[in-house]
């Protein structure tokens, strides 16, 4: 029997204690079988349970094993492509609906944390940092755009003001979003899983779905058991493999890497990020960082197209960290890990139905802590027969990557190289 542990991350090392969960054996019957216990699966399960559905979650490894337990922990509003891009590619009514939902995921996280008393080090405040005047112009339009959709917790930071929140000389300004913020991502997932169980949901770990028998009464098979359900939600994201071949063509798993320093101590930590906000820069291939509750710096960046695991993560990410904070040159790195997110060509989420009873949401393209929480709500609404908001996502156009499954990785890497050059020269 497979027993897949968490990767050796800071999050796994500082995870809250949880009881062991069973492996699925034999047959169970439920209303909804959710495949994947990341935020998408857990958020769906919670909303469904709160609405009276019986829910069984199958997780191939452990709760939060995927991106949800490895990410930068940054609560970032909107989507990987912003609402202005959506406005240009869909009709006004659909754009309006999607724009109204762009700030809901962060609220859902805060409601979940409060309602189920989840211990996940939630902190308010996220900064988008501008490296040049083009970035700053972009942030000014982003503020106007988000305000048009009712977001009022934004403050533009000039060159002087950004120094008060980030001790990094590289920035010309920024945008502070007080409804952004950060969390210990694995502990958020573990807390949500406990909430699922407190409402009568069942989560099986080490129980990968290996086959879906489709039809009026679908069955999800694992190595040692099966789940008969009225509905299936596919929430395996970048770790799904080829379980649902229709989904694989229009999305591509990509890796991104994170390092964590040794504890810096209160004094040093305060000099770096005095208000304890999280930060991401405005590059296409962006860097993101924040402090942990025990005052380490978590720093992430870079993308590996096709999700190969790099041999030496510290060698890739440490130079980026030192570029932002040269004062950390003698600080030891305690943890380094990689995680996979799922990229779509449009960088917008891939959402829809297969037949009448299989639903999916995936592919938020590296920017999914908030969206996945919203996705759970929208999926649950659709299963209850209120699909207007679900359909606003499902109707977003998606295209296969150029080159098909064979050549999509080098083509995407080429695209990223081009954008990396633009970042480098501030274009
Ligand atoms: C390193 C990293 C840093 C990131 N940083 C940020 C950030 O700071 N802010 C932000 O907004 N976004 C960030 N993201 C993106 C964000 O983490 C993801 O968008 C989000 O967590 C995706 O959640 P998910 O539930 O859809 O997928 P996942 O969390 O990947 O969960 C999928 C789960 O499904 C399981 N699974 C797969 N196949 C099967 C199967 N056949 N049977 C059963 N289970 C299966 C997997 O084991 C996994 O646990 C980051 C991503 C990575 C990788």
Centre of ligand 1 to C-alpha 153, Å, is 27
Mean pLDDT across the stretch 386-405? 88
Going by pLDDT thresholds of 50, 70 and 90, the confidence category of residue 423 is low
pLDDT for res 366 = 87
CA torsion angle 333 8 305 67 (round to 10): -110
Centre of ligand 1 to C-alpha 40, Å, is 8
pLDDT for res 165 = 97
Centre of ligand 1 to C-alpha 133, Å, is 33
Pocket test for ligand 1, best of 126, 239, 278, 349 (most atoms within 8 A of CB): 239
Going by pLDDT thresholds of 50, 70 and 90, the confidence category of residue 208 is very high
pLDDT for 348-359, tens place per residue?
Answer: 999 999 999 999
| Nearest residue (CA) to ligand 1, atom 35 | 36
Q: By percentage, how much of the chain surpasses pLDDT 90?
A: 87
Query: What number does the ligand 1 atom closest to the CA of 338 have?
Result: 1
Going by pLDDT thresholds of 50, 70 and 90, the confidence category of residue 250 is confident
State whether the beta carbon of 180 lies less than 6 angstroms from ligand 1.
no
Q: Which CATH class is domain 124-181+252-343?
A: alpha beta
pLDDT for res 413 = 62
Centre of ligand 1 to C-alpha 39, Å, is 7
Mean pLDDT across the stretch 387-402? 91
State whether the beta carbon of 369 lies less than 6 angstroms from ligand 1.
yes
State whether the beta carbon of 300 lies less than 6 angstroms from ligand 1.
yes
Centre of ligand 1 to C-alpha 122, Å, is 19
pLDDT for res 379 = 98
State whether the beta carbon of 339 lies less than 6 angstroms from ligand 1.
yes
Would you call 290 helix, strand, or coil by DSSP?
strand
State whether the beta carbon of 209 lies less than 6 angstroms from ligand 1.
yes
pLDDT for res 424 = 59
- Which among 58, 48, 7 is positioned nearest to 381, based on CA atoms? 48
Q: Which residues contact 269 (CB under 8 A, 6 or more apart)?
A: 291, 295, 297
Query: What number does the ligand 1 atom closest to the CA of 69 have?
Result: 29
Q: What mean pLDDT is reported for the chain?
A: 94
Q: Where are the domains of the chain?
A: 1-122+183-250+346-396, 124-181+252-343
Query: What number does the ligand 1 atom closest to the CA of 365 have?
Result: 19
Asked whether 208 and 23 are in contact (CB, 8 A), the reply is no
pTM above 0.85, yes or no: yes
Answer yes or no: is pLDDT of 425 > 60. no
Centre of ligand 1 to C-alpha 172, Å, is 32
Answer yes or no: is pLDDT of 2 > 80. no
Query: What number does the ligand 1 atom closest to the CA of 207 have?
Result: 43
Mean pLDDT across the stretch 145-156? 96
State whether the beta carbon of 6 lies less than 6 angstroms from ligand 1.
no
Q: 1-122+183-250+346-396 falls under which CATH superfamily? A: FAD/NAD(P)-binding domain (3.50.50.60)
Alpha carbons 321 and 301: distance in angstroms, whole number: 9
DSSP string spanning 202-254?
A: EEESS----EEE-SSS-EEE-SSEEEEEEEEEE--GGG-TTSSHHHHTT-EEE
pLDDT for 58-75, tens place per residue?
Answer: 999 999 999 999 999 999
pLDDT for res 45 = 99
Alpha carbons 182 and 278: distance in angstroms, whole number: 6
pLDDT for 95-129, tens place per residue?
Answer: 999 999 999 999 999 999 999 999 999 999 999 99
Answer yes or no: is pLDDT of 404 > 70. no
State whether the beta carbon of 125 lies less than 6 angstroms from ligand 1.
no
State whether the beta carbon of 288 lies less than 6 angstroms from ligand 1.
yes
pLDDT for res 399 = 84
Lowest mean pLDDT among 346-355, 371-380, 410-419: 410-419
State whether the beta carbon of 235 lies less than 6 angstroms from ligand 1.
yes
Mean pLDDT across the stretch 266-279? 98
């Amino acid at each position: 029997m497979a027993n897949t542990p968490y990767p050796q991350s800071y999050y796994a090392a500082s995870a809250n204690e949880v009881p062991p969960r069973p492996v699925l054996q034999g047959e169970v019957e439920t209303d909804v079988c959710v495949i994947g216990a990341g935020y998408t699966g857990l958020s769906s399960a919670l909303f469904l349970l709160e609405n009276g559905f019986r829910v069984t979650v199958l997780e191939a490894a452990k709760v939060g094993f995927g991106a949800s337990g490895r990410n930068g922990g940054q609560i970032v509003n909107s989507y990987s492509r912003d609402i202005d891009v959506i406005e240009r590619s869909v009709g006004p009514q659909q754009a309006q609906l999607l724009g109204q939902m762009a700030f809901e995921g962060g609220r859902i996280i805060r409601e979940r944390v409060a309602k189920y008393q989840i211990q996940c080090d939630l902190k308010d405040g996220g900064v988008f940092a501008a490296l040049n005047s083009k970035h700053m112009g972009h942030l000014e339009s982003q503020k106007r755009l988000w305000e048009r959709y009712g977001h009022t917790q934004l403050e533009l930071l000039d060159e002087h003001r950004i120094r008060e929140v980030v001790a990094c000389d590289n920035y010309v300004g920024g945008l502070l979003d007080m409804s952004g913020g950060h969390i210990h991502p694995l502990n958020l997932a573990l807390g949500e899983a406990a909430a699922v169980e407190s409402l009568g949901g069942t989560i099986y770990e080490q129980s990968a779905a290996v086959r879906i028998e489709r039809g009026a009464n679908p069955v999800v098979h694992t190595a040692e058991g099966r789940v008969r359900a009225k509905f299936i939600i596919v929430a395996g994201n970048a770790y799904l493999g080829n379980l649902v071949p229709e989904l694989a063509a229009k999305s591509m798993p990509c890796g991104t890497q994170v390092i964590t320093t040794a504890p810096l101590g209160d004094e040093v930590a305060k000099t770096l990020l005095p208000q304890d906000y999280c930060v991401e820069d405005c590059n296409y291939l962006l860097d993101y960082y924040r402090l942990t509750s025990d005052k380490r710096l978590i720093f992430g960046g870079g993308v590996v197209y096709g999700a190969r695991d790099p041999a030496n993560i510290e060698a890739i990410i440490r130079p980026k960290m030192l570029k932002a904070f040269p004062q950390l040159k003698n600080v030891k790195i305690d943890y380094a890990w990689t995680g996979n997110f799922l990229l779509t060509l449009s960088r917008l989420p891939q959402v829809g139905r297969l037949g009448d009873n299989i639903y999916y949401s995936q592919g938020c393209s590296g920017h999914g802590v908030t969206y996945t929480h919203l996705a759970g709500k929208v999926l649950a609404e659709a299963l209850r027969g209120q699909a207007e908001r679900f359909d606003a996502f499902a109707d977003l156009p998606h295209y296969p990557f150029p080159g098909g499954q064979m050549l999509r990785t080098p083509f995407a890497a080429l695209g990223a190289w081009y954008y990396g050059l633009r970042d480098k020269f501030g274009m």
